[in-house]
Structure 1
Amino acid sequence: MTQSDTTHEVFNQVEPLVDVNLFDGNRALQAALKFNAPAMDTAPLRALGQLVGSADMQTHARLANTFTPQLKTHSRFGHRIDQVEFHPSYHALMAAAVDAGLHGRVFAPEEQASGHAHMKRAAGFMLFTELEPSMLCPISMTYAVTPALKDNPAIYADWAPQLTSRAYDPALKLWREKPGVTMGMGMTEKQGGSDVRANTTRAEPVGSDAWGQRYSVVGHKWFFSAPMCDAFLILAQTASGLSCLFLPRVLPDGSLNGLRIQRLKDKLGNKANASSEVEFHGATAWLVGEEGRGIPQILAMGTLTRLDCALGVSGLMRQALSIALNHTTQRKAFGKYLIDQPLMKNVLADLALESEAATALSMRLARAFDRADDPHEQVMARLLTPIAKFWICKRGSHFAQEAMECLGGNGYVEEGGEGIMARIYREMPLNSIWEGAGNIMALDLLRALRKADAAAALAQELAPAKGMHPALDRLAAQLPIRVEEMATELEARRLAQDVALAVQAALLAQTAPLEVFAAFCDSRIGGHWGYSFGSLNAATAFDRIIERAQPR
């Protein structure tokens, strides 16, 4: 090739972050596991980390988001079929997530016997989120719905083996003919949104059978995810009030249920997942639990899905940070690598602090579910669920934007390995909105903190860090007074933020190097911080913090 055949030589380009073990490189996650479940066998997580960090699986993630789900309401002969078609890569991702046990598998007796089923599953969910978060929606709902089905023992006995199986079968057919199944939810309606008491969908009793009281359902759902699941838990008005019902796609006699998919949602992100609007035309459903007790049952399921929101954002933060570190370690500007530029160091270290704190809080919450018989853990599950959901998810979009900026214009394009950053950015707001937006979470925390044993439980949680940083000590001392004196809801968000920061700091005191803990307290609690990432104090141990966060 002569000089005239080319215009330039390509150089100073970044090799993508592929074929790396996402578990081995995640020291924050390893530290959280060692603290919360020291006896856990992490070999399965290491294997999963290798899988989800592979180039092949990243290709599946890209294709599943490029070739998005397509609704087919009718067959070519004009018959109503109400099916959603997915790219084969979507099914490959689903099969991998189910095989890793990220769905209802956690409730299998052998998993429960380990004593840390939720912790192992939470770590796996975070790792898989780094690969592809949107198709985890039906995985998360299956996780949340499986224990709720115990309120109808007959249905649970029939469905539990498939719900806890490691097999994935996307076919639309009778549950007993499938090696594994998934479940979804249908709660919100056009007129109500989060206010499910405004639901108008009605369910009329039409008899009973081996699964108990049977109903005919007429109405709609404005958000119905994911419509190709095998069954759903829905809310509908009955004679006794809002009730929880089990609605399968295929009825026990093999016929399709009266579920009509109106259209798929065109969402900002979450593209590989099919979210839909549906109508029920005399659909058949069975009562789960007591009639009129739908709200408490939904709240119990919401606790698990809110955990997944915090885990999901924590995983996305980790992946965004890893991509930023990978890029800045290889890319040069103004004569040296970006990572060696002082201001870039500040940004990367600041992001690393946020990521590790999110991981620590999310995994601590997962521990509470593994110790549900412990009174302290029961209270902490009640307290930590809304603060983790509120604070971690609130930080996600800002985090993703700053990590994207580390890549410059390369971060803003959809192409190639660094195009993952654009997907991450679009995905971040979802977890903050889904399963209760910020106001709902802040109010939920306020209700939890006003219970008699909450202040003592929070003090016990913060006690290990007492005396380690003056700013944290001051905050910990003020929190009970602020709860007691809060006359209105107007400051509930600020309280949720400060409780989250205090708990994150106390966890970092026990799981992270002193440099990480001190920098977190100085910035987030002590006030040595600005209004954007990259404003840490000049005395911060930047190199040590960045080294700890490196993905390789």
Structure 2
Amino acid sequence: MNAPYSPSPDYLADTHEVNNVSRELVNYNMYLQDVALQEALHREGGTLAEQELIEFGSLTGSADYLELGLLANKYPPEFDTHDRFGNRVDLAKFHPAYHQLMKTAIEHGLHASPWTDNRAGAHVIRAAKNILQGQVEAGHGCPITMTFAAVPSIRLQPDLAKTWLPLITSRIYDPRNVPIDQKQGVTIGMGMTEKQGGSDVRANTTKAYAVGAEGGGQLYKIVGHKFFLSAPMCDAFLVLAQTQRGLSCFLVPRWQSNGQKNPLQVLRLKRKMGNVSNASSEVEFRGAEGWMVGEEGRGVRTIIEMVSMTRFDCMVGSSAGQRMAVSQALHHCSIRAAFGKRLIEQPLMQNVLADLILEYEGSLAFSMRMAYALDHRDDTHEDLLVRLGTAVGKYWICKRTPNHAYEAMECMGGSGVMEDSIFPRLYREAPINAIWEGSGNVQCLDVLRAMYKTPAVVHAFFAEIGKAQGKNALLDAFVSQLQQDLQQLADFEYRARDLVDRLALAFQAALLLRHAPDYVSHAFCASRLGQQGQHNYGCLPKNCDLEAIINRAWPENIH
């Protein structure tokens, strides 16, 4: 009888050794790693918060905190129209990770600090913190942004502001679905978009009927629908509805003044390709109570400051996405080797990485300059910059981010498209800000409208660009041609995207020439202003100091 087969132990060896692979980017200080952000904080007036940013950067870069972003998107919100007894509740339920992100954001003042913080640079400080928080997770930023942005509009109605602003600006996160007299802090949402109108809100059909007296601060009943209402777990919403005198703005709470649930009924949560952790909804108002905010018939004017603030946050949020994409690509390429060298040492990969970094440098500089302008709106020049610059910046930065995310993902190779990587989330998130609060065409039309209505905004914009005059011949020629083209009124609307593209590039280039190292600013100008035609990332011209650009974005002592 033959003995049982017993293979040699040599045949039981492991098939391979795991080497030359990347690892998770965790437990690093997001703020100290980002030299450009540190410089921007100090340059634009946020120096007093340096230690806060260091501590916050340590938190946002920690493994446990980054895990919250993954979990909040892995387990999206669920929705119940009724409780088990048949009572209407319209309740969105979230994973604990989402609540922790919201709690942290509110405790650090990302929802309201510029309205309560008397320190210089309050908007700059908040923007810097948002750059860090936004790299962890973007979806929870929606209710944080809307709460922040609602304050200027609600202030227009002092009687409502007296009740609501202390709760809005509170640094206590209270997610309970209860009337506001039981709350320690509230969040505010927004409802403007209807099926038939989209961005054309004047086509809205939702109606508001006065219960008694008419006008600002008075109670109305709202009847109609909103195709997008963000976000249904908020405690109240700024809503546009038609009265006899035209489109007006209303504050519509989740609960009526008598303690009963307001008949604002959520039909469904939207299934979005990105922004998964955030609950967006479609709703109907079946006689919901709402208080008019501002002047009757001037709803767009009332809510426009909220829109301006949310567009600013879109700039900041997309800049944050760019920074995380850059960080992930740099981290991977500093570890992974191919053809005998680390990827970060390969000339062609250096070209791509440096180009991605330049994009972020320009986006960050633009965003933080607008934050400074928000801090100084009592200055006419700064106010004019806000009015034009937020539309230009929102259009350009958000428009550039999707391809930026894709290109950074390609640096990772096949592992970048795996769902257990952060890149699918970054990629799906990237188009959201470009569409939310007015798509590209809407932003360009708003730029043209501002230029026609208030020509002084153009003079302020070019005055800011002019501070870099003589620093780079390419920029000087670029600006001269742009100014000539702006004088040609024929087909102005048709050419709007081209003009706004160039306004954005000129503004970014001027800021970098004034504030960034020469190797950054001159590479930006050479690649964005000097080359003819469209190019993919990684087509930087000769004589750019790629290693210096990369080392600035990825300091040697961090990795």
Equivalent residue number for residue 224 of structure 1: 229
1:197-219 deviations in Å (ceiling 9; x for gaps): 11111110012599931111111
1:234 Cα deviation after fit: 0.2
What percentage of aligned pairs have identical amino acids? 48
1:406 Cα deviation after fit: 0.2
1:47 aligns with 2:52: no
Q: Give me the whole-angstrom Cα distance separating, in 2, the residues matched to 1:5 and 1:209.
A: 83
2:333 to 328, 332, 347: 328
Contact 2:80 2:91 in 1 (8 A): yes
Contact 2:192 2:226 in 1 (8 A): yes
Q: Give me the whole-angstrom Cα distance separating, in 2, the residues matched to 1:376 and 1:490.
A: 29
More off after superposition, 438-447 vs 195-204: 438-447
Contact 1:394 1:438 in 2 (8 A): yes
Q: Give me the whole-angstrom Cα distance separating, in 1, the residues matched to 2:73 and 2:334.
A: 28
Equivalent residue number for residue 101 of structure 2: 93
1:376 to 381, 386, 402: 381
1:185 to 176, 179, 190: 190
Q: Give me the whole-angstrom Cα distance separating, in 2, the residues matched to 1:3 and 1:332.
A: 30
1:173-213 deviations in Å (ceiling 9; x for gaps): 12132221100000000111101111111110012599931
More off after superposition, 219-228 vs 36-45: 36-45
Following superposition of structure 1 onto structure 2, how do residues 338-349 of structure 1 map, counting pairs within 5 Å? 338-349=343-354
2:451 to 445, 449, 455: 449
Following superposition of structure 1 onto structure 2, how do residues 254-273 of structure 1 map, counting pairs within 5 Å? 254-273=259-278
More off after superposition, 368-377 vs 527-536: 527-536
Gaps in structure 2 of 5+ consecutive residues: 1-8
Q: Which amino acid in 1 is paired with 2:142? A: C
1:458 Cα deviation after fit: 2.3
Equivalent residue number for residue 34 of structure 2: 26
More off after superposition, 34-43 vs 539-548: 34-43
Q: Secondary structure at the match of 1:151?
A: coil
Equivalent residue number for residue 75 of structure 2: 67
Q: Secondary structure at the match of 2:175?
A: coil
Q: Secondary structure at the match of 1:185?
A: strand
Following superposition of structure 1 onto structure 2, how do residues 492-531 of structure 1 map, counting pairs within 5 Å? 492-527=496-531, 531=535
Contact 1:529 1:535 in 2 (8 A): no
Q: Which amino acid in 2 is paired with 1:521? A: C
Q: Give me the whole-angstrom Cα distance separating, in 1, the residues matched to 2:483 and 2:449.
A: 14
2:322 to 314, 317, 322: 317
Equivalent residue number for residue 282 of structure 1: 287
Equivalent residue number for residue 167 of structure 2: 162
Following superposition of structure 1 onto structure 2, how do residues 87-126 of structure 1 map, counting pairs within 5 Å? 87-108=95-116, 111=117, 113-126=118-131
Q: Which amino acid in 2 is paired with 1:516? A: V
Q: Which amino acid in 1 is paired with 2:424? A: A
Equivalent residue number for residue 471 of structure 1: 474
Q: Give me the whole-angstrom Cα distance separating, in 1, the residues matched to 2:164 and 2:458.
A: 40
1:546 aligns with 2:554: no
Equivalent residue number for residue 58 of structure 1: 66
Q: Which amino acid in 2 is paired with 1:19? A: N
Contact 1:187 1:224 in 2 (8 A): yes
Q: Give me the whole-angstrom Cα distance separating, in 2, the residues matched to 1:156 and 1:372.
A: 21
CA 1:80–1:5 in 2, change beyond 3 Å: closer, same or farther?
farther
Contact 2:474 2:526 in 1 (8 A): yes
1:45-93 deviations in Å (ceiling 9; x for gaps): 2211111111111111111101110010111112211101101111011
Q: Secondary structure at the match of 2:56?
A: helix
Equivalent residue number for residue 405 of structure 1: 410
1:423 aligns with 2:425: yes
Q: Secondary structure at the match of 1:187?
A: strand
Contact 2:217 2:294 in 1 (8 A): no
Q: Which amino acid in 2 is paired with 1:276? A: S
Following superposition of structure 1 onto structure 2, how do residues 381-400 of structure 1 map, counting pairs within 5 Å? 381-400=386-405
1:7 aligns with 2:12: no
1:433 aligns with 2:435: yes
1:358 aligns with 2:363: yes
1:41 Cα deviation after fit: 2.6
Equivalent residue number for residue 462 of structure 1: 465
Q: Give me the whole-angstrom Cα distance separating, in 2, the residues matched to 1:325 and 1:2.
A: 40
1:109-168 deviations in Å (ceiling 9; x for gaps): xx0x21311111111111111010111100000011012111221111111111111110
Q: Which amino acid in 2 is paired with 1:469? A: N
More off after superposition, 442-451 vs 55-64: 442-451
Q: Secondary structure at the match of 1:497?
A: helix
Q: Give me the whole-angstrom Cα distance separating, in 1, the residues matched to 2:10 and 2:124.
A: 60
Contact 1:528 1:536 in 2 (8 A): no
Q: Give me the whole-angstrom Cα distance separating, in 2, the residues matched to 1:312 and 1:11.
A: 35
Equivalent residue number for residue 201 of structure 1: 206
Q: Which amino acid in 1 is paired with 2:539? A: S
Q: Which amino acid in 2 is paired with 1:324? A: A
1:6 Cα deviation after fit: 2.4
Contact 1:152 1:289 in 2 (8 A): yes
1:495 Cα deviation after fit: 0.6
Q: Secondary structure at the match of 2:66?
A: helix
Q: Secondary structure at the match of 1:218?
A: strand
1:299-342 deviations in Å (ceiling 9; x for gaps): 22110000011101000000000000000000111111111111
1:40 Cα deviation after fit: 3.3
Q: Give me the whole-angstrom Cα distance separating, in 1, the residues matched to 2:424 and 2:323.
A: 15
1:35 aligns with 2:38: no
1:466-506 deviations in Å (ceiling 9; x for gaps): 11111100112223222121322111101101111111011
Q: Which amino acid in 1 is paired with 2:531? A: G
Contact 1:106 1:164 in 2 (8 A): no
1:38 Cα deviation after fit: 5.8
Equivalent residue number for residue 239 of structure 2: 234
Contact 2:238 2:252 in 1 (8 A): yes
TM-score by length of 2: 0.95
Q: Give me the whole-angstrom Cα distance separating, in 1, the residues matched to 2:395 and 2:195.
A: 24
1:464 Cα deviation after fit: 2.3
Equivalent residue number for residue 146 of structure 1: 151
Q: Give me the whole-angstrom Cα distance separating, in 1, the residues matched to 2:10 and 2:35.
A: 49
Q: Secondary structure at the match of 1:538?
A: coil
Contact 1:455 1:480 in 2 (8 A): no
Equivalent residue number for residue 3 of structure 2: none
Q: Give me the whole-angstrom Cα distance separating, in 1, the residues matched to 2:99 and 2:338.
A: 41
Equivalent residue number for residue 5 of structure 2: none
1:2 Cα deviation after fit: 6.1
1:376 Cα deviation after fit: 0.5
1:399 Cα deviation after fit: 0.2
1:260 Cα deviation after fit: 0.7
Q: Give me the whole-angstrom Cα distance separating, in 2, the residues matched to 1:147 and 1:44.
A: 26
State the Cα RMSD in Å.
1.6
